[in-house]
Amino acid sequence: MIYVLAVLLPPLGLLLNGQPFSAMLNLLLLVFCLIFGLFFHVLLLAPSAHAVIAVHMKREERRHREVVDAIRRYGPPPGYPR
């Protein structure tokens, strides 16, 4: 769901994902791309692409942190070579 929001309303999707600085950067990027997107239409995709990539990276970071915390708490999985 957050990915759909990141595509349709990039700054709001980033804010709801807990990335306020990326949201501000994306808002500036959105304004820039709306102005120059009239001449170079591919620029209209840049804010959405930035938001989707930022959301994906944040989710991967959270998942990685959870795995590392679980390994620290419970030890490596059975059969893991030491």
Indicate the domain borders of the chain.
2-74
On the question of pLDDT at 5 being above 80, the answer is yes
What is the model's pTM? 0.84
On the question of pLDDT at 81 being above 80, the answer is no
pLDDT at 82: 67
pLDDT at 78: 85
- pLDDT single digits (tens) 18-69: 999 999 999 999 999 999 988 999 999 999 999 999 999 999 999 999 999 9
How many angstroms separate the Cα of 80 from the Cα of each of 2, 64, 77?
35, 18, 6
On the question of pLDDT at 77 being above 90, the answer is no
Q: How far apart are CA 35 and CA 37, in angstroms?
A: 6
